[in-house]
Structure 1
Amino acid sequence: CMVSTTQLLLNSHADRHDLSDSFVSGEEDNGGSLLSNKNINNEINGNWLSSSSNSIHEARLKAKAKRRLRKNSSRDSGRGDSLSDNGDAVRGTAVAPTSPKSKLLDRKSRLGKGRGLPKKGGAGGKGVWGRSGEVYGPEEVDEKDPNYDEAQENCVYETVAPPLEEKDFEKTVSPIVQEYFEHGDTNEVAELLAELNLGPMRSEVPSLAVSLALEAKASHRELTSRLLADLCGSVLSRSDMESSFDKLLRELPDLVLDTPGAPQLVGQFIARAVSDQILSKSYIESYKGRVGCQYTRAALDRAAVLLKMTMGGLRIDNQWGAGGGQRPVMQLVKEMNLLLKEYILSGDIKEAERCLRDLEVPHFHHEFVYEAIVMVLESKGDKTFKMVLQLLKALSASSSITVDQMRRGYERVYMDIAEINIDVPRAYFILEQFVDQSFNTGVIDVKIRDLCPCRGRKRFVSEGDGGVVKLESY
């Protein structure tokens, strides 16, 4: 056994050496013919049935030929040696090697070129949107499509708001009007109303705005008149305005319960609307002879009287007799001067206090104090001096004018006294007297009194008078 095993190993080594030499030297044909004449059915599932040297030699030749075939097919793409169908080794045949399955379906370039970009610029393949920035043309409708509907071919789709119902009208429009009373921007109100589909409720907007203004301040009524003038034409028509005021006149018996002066106020709104040309001039005349309610008659009479007064020069836009923080400063100053002059003539402190409160400018009351003191400095006699002092005392006691506004008014006079003294030579002397009297009556405190300026140069009488100071010459 040992002898046969050793002999087998030696034969194996010799055979390997002979096989390599035979293929290199071009003796493949002899080996191929030798393999074809041998019976190679001695291998089952990789196990050798015989251990003879011839069987081992034949198997090794076949395995080496297969390895060479695989190597040449992948490297030379068909060039070199190959095996025929019966296992014969053939050199230089034109049999194309079969590629692996993974490389057969691979569509990548094998040249090693390319920039790594997607194929077709990302515009091809399943489930893609196409190349970025690509604009598609109009899609042609296939009339043979079973889902084709001729009625939908020229359809236009748009967002439509449902008409506003009557139960939702007041709670939708009232916040818009209330917010307008704060900012006073009519353009914003017009945009908000345009977004709503008012439908038949369009004519209810003016009546709702006027009803809210009746319970508000005088400045809010002025803003309401401006709102109606700006909405007419862009959002509302003149027929909407007329039907809305007709409704207000019919509802006057109910409005009087909450606002006793509703007939007069509605009459003022009608007169202002006629003046702003949102109501026709014949609107009041159309009610003659067919008015049975006393409140409606009072409102129309008030409107007719105001329109007749406009012929004499009265401006309808000043009918509310109030200002507000949105009015120009010069107009507020003018109204305060008129208020003071009316008080000097009438002497009615309560009426002056009411008018000042109706101006609705508590942050601007220091201007009223300034104008009142300047009026005292420019006046002649003691009447204006005493009446202005009484007015400031009453306004300070009722807190109509706060301590801060009173202090600012006095300080403004202190700063301008040098210029006032140019036109009024006795301004320093009168101011000192007025400040002392204001302190004694409790209008101002000691700090404001001590800030009162005085002239630096004091004039004396002649030496024969004993050097007494002339108080009137300060």
Structure 2
Amino acid sequence: MAADCEAWLNANPFEAEDLSDSFVSGDEDSAGLVLTNKNITEINGNWLTSSSNSIHEARLKAKAKRKLRKNSSRDSGRGDSLSDNGDVVRGTSAVPTSPKSKLLDRKSRLGKGRGLPKKGGAGGKGVWGRSGEVYEQEEVDEKDPNYDEAQGNCVYETVVPPLEERDFEKTVTPIVQEYFEHGDTNEVSELLAELNLGPMRSEVPALAVSLALEAKSSHRELTSRLLTDLCGPVLSHSDMENSFDKLLRELPDLVLDTPGAPQLVGQFIARAVSDQILSKSYIEGYKGRVDCEYARAALDRAAVLLKMSMGGLRIDTQWGTGGGQRSVVQLIKEMNLLLKEYILSGDSKEAERCLRDLEVPHFHHEFVYEAIVMVLESKGEKTFKMVLQLFKIFSLSSIITVDQMRRGFKRVYMDIAEINIDVPRAYFILEQFVDNSFSMGIIDVKLRDLCPCRGRKRFFSE
């Protein structure tokens, strides 16, 4: 073995300078041992052919890498780094933070970067995307194996099927009946516009008029206003004419439920002509072509009303106005006329009908007040007894509720002092009227005890 080593040394002699450079200093690791000759160099297991200066530079780079490895094991890469040319770059070490403290923080926790959210705020789970980002319309790929030529020209829209005749009344009747409650024609127009009426468009006015024939006068007035507002936006003039033609043909059936249907339909026709829904020649077009007596009666009624309108009659007020649309002064006047007519005729059923036609159940306390004041101002017992009898009938039939009756009596109690100025015996008459009302069951004990009474005058001798 020794002979072999000696033979190899004789074949590869070392020079002094090579021998001095071939050993690593004491502070270097054995892994970085460098064995060199003039042309061949080994650095960390890599064989290189370079000059002595390049060998020295390679040795320095290897030493710097070893120091970097030691530092990186301590501060996890937050310290120094090595640049591309081998220079050591000093970096600021960031204080590590716990990810639990900022669960929703989208910023980098390494202390590097500009502190902006990841991917501009468009990355991560549960993120809708970058703020302000607008997605463009996806173009159809003609090379797609599922591509269909007809698909590119399709227009998608909501299609409402036409309303069938069997479903017409079930759909439109609740709309009209609800309109009688709120009186908003715009809402009815919107609801009808959402329906695909189709050929049933001309049936809407006929259905509304037939429902109004069985309703009150205020509902008929609302129906006339509805027809005026629907003509144009929803219905055409030809639809209106076809609808009234149908009403004239169905009059024999309408008379069975509403005996006064011919006169009422005639008033609707006259109002429609006045509101320019129907043409002025509509009535003249039926002359000599009507065989039904009910249709002739309706057309004659419409013609008479139109002639009277030329003389100053206002057709737009022929139905009257509902209770909620009348002024308080007008309501009080009509209640006084109602009471006076009842005192003269004694017909309680007619008084009940007139009070119902006013359509003001919330204002019946005024009727009670005016009736009691009429009793206090009257002379004789006729008015006293008749008003008591009328109150008894209205309380039993619940036309005047207990609350409205109580409010009317309390209003008289509050104003009795002023009434007594004009009627000296007002306290005495009121006390008798309250006692009789309690005995007949019109009022209760509490309301009777609230009745005011004037103290007796003391004589001079006392």
**Matched ranges for 1:344-383 at <5 A:** 344-380=343-379, 382-383=381-382
- The match for 2:236 is 237
> Which ranges in structure 2 are unaligned for 5 or more consecutive residues?
1-16, 35-41, 63-81, 84-90, 92-110
Cα distance in 2 between the residues matched to 1:425 and 1:234: 64
**Matched ranges for 1:109-188 at <5 A:** 113-115=112-114, 117=116, 121=120, 131-135=130-134, 158-188=157-187
> Relative to 1, partners in 2 of residues 1:370 and 1:159: Cα closer, same or farther, differing over 3 Å?
same
**Cα RMSD (Å) of the superposition?**
4.7
- The match for 1:268 is 267
Q: Which amino acid aligns with 1:81?
A: I
Q: Which amino acid aligns with 1:261?
A: G
The answer on whether the counterparts of 1:421 and 1:428 sit within 8 Å (CA) in structure 2 is yes
The answer on whether the counterparts of 2:214 and 2:258 sit within 8 Å (CA) in structure 1 is yes
- The match for 2:88 is none
- Of structures 1 and 2, the larger Rg is shown by 1
> Relative to 1, partners in 2 of residues 1:69 and 1:28: Cα closer, same or farther, differing over 3 Å?
closer
- The match for 2:21 is 26
Q: Which amino acid aligns with 1:343?
A: Y
The answer on whether the counterparts of 1:322 and 1:358 sit within 8 Å (CA) in structure 2 is no
Instruction: Kindly state the Cα deviation for residue 317 of structure 1 after the two structures are TM-superposed.
Output: 5.2
The answer on whether the counterparts of 1:370 and 1:413 sit within 8 Å (CA) in structure 2 is yes
**Matched ranges for 1:318-467 at <5 A:** 319-320=318-319, 323-325=322-324, 328-380=327-379, 382-439=381-438, 441-456=440-455, 458=457
Cα distance in 2 between the residues matched to 1:27 and 1:446: 129
Cα distance in 1 between the residues matched to 2:186 and 2:300: 33
Q: Which amino acid aligns with 2:375?
A: V
> Relative to 1, partners in 2 of residues 1:276 and 1:24: Cα closer, same or farther, differing over 3 Å?
farther
**Matched ranges for 1:171-210 at <5 A:** 171-210=170-209
Cα distance in 1 between the residues matched to 2:363 and 2:341: 19
- The match for 2:43 is 81
Cα distance in 1 between the residues matched to 2:197 and 2:358: 35
Q: Which amino acid aligns with 2:230?
A: L
Identity of aligned residues (%): 80
Cα distance in 2 between the residues matched to 1:24 and 1:116: 55
> Relative to 1, partners in 2 of residues 1:314 and 1:436: Cα closer, same or farther, differing over 3 Å?
farther
User: How many residues are paired up?
Assistant: 384
Cα distance in 1 between the residues matched to 2:325 and 2:218: 9
Instruction: Kindly state the Cα deviation for residue 316 of structure 1 after the two structures are TM-superposed.
Output: 4.3
Residue deviations 1:396-422, cap 9 Å, x none? 344433344323222221112223334
Residue deviations 1:22-44, cap 9 Å, x none? 99952269xxxxxxxxxxxxxxx
- The match for 2:32 is 68
The answer on whether the counterparts of 2:420 and 2:426 sit within 8 Å (CA) in structure 1 is yes
Cα distance in 2 between the residues matched to 1:123 and 1:407: 71
Cα distance in 1 between the residues matched to 2:19 and 2:339: 132
Cα distance in 2 between the residues matched to 1:191 and 1:254: 31
Give the secondary-structure state (helix, strand or coil) at the position aligned to 2:21.
coil
Cα distance in 1 between the residues matched to 2:150 and 2:393: 84
Cα distance in 1 between the residues matched to 2:214 and 2:336: 28
> Relative to 1, partners in 2 of residues 1:388 and 1:325: Cα closer, same or farther, differing over 3 Å?
same
Instruction: Kindly state the Cα deviation for residue 351 of structure 1 after the two structures are TM-superposed.
Output: 1.0
The answer on whether the counterparts of 1:81 and 1:92 sit within 8 Å (CA) in structure 2 is no
**Matched ranges for 1:261-300 at <5 A:** 261-300=260-299
Instruction: Kindly state the Cα deviation for residue 440 of structure 1 after the two structures are TM-superposed.
Output: 5.3
Cα distance in 2 between the residues matched to 1:388 and 1:141: 86
Cα distance in 2 between the residues matched to 1:313 and 1:413: 42
> Relative to 1, partners in 2 of residues 1:131 and 1:288: Cα closer, same or farther, differing over 3 Å?
same
Instruction: Kindly state the Cα deviation for residue 293 of structure 1 after the two structures are TM-superposed.
Output: 1.1
> Relative to 1, partners in 2 of residues 1:139 and 1:403: Cα closer, same or farther, differing over 3 Å?
closer
- More deviation, 143-152/438-447: 143-152
- More deviation, 374-383/260-269: 374-383
Instruction: Kindly state the Cα deviation for residue 374 of structure 1 after the two structures are TM-superposed.
Output: 1.9
Residue deviations 1:22-77, cap 9 Å, x none? 99952269xxxxxxxxxxxxxxxxxxxxxxxxxxxxxxxxxx98x4399xxxxxxx
> Relative to 1, partners in 2 of residues 1:151 and 1:82: Cα closer, same or farther, differing over 3 Å?
closer
Cα distance in 1 between the residues matched to 2:298 and 2:408: 42
The answer on whether the counterparts of 1:163 and 1:199 sit within 8 Å (CA) in structure 2 is yes
Q: Which amino acid aligns with 1:302?
A: R
Cα distance in 2 between the residues matched to 1:69 and 1:117: 46
Cα distance in 1 between the residues matched to 2:414 and 2:312: 39
Give the secondary-structure state (helix, strand or coil) at the position aligned to 1:243.
helix
- The match for 2:76 is none
> Relative to 1, partners in 2 of residues 1:395 and 1:130: Cα closer, same or farther, differing over 3 Å?
closer
Residue deviations 1:336-360, cap 9 Å, x none? 2332233234332211112222333
Cα distance in 1 between the residues matched to 2:308 and 2:386: 33
Cα distance in 2 between the residues matched to 1:311 and 1:439: 55
- The match for 2:107 is none
Instruction: Kindly state the Cα deviation for residue 237 of structure 1 after the two structures are TM-superposed.
Output: 3.0
- The match for 2:79 is none
The answer on whether the counterparts of 1:164 and 1:198 sit within 8 Å (CA) in structure 2 is yes
- The match for 2:68 is none
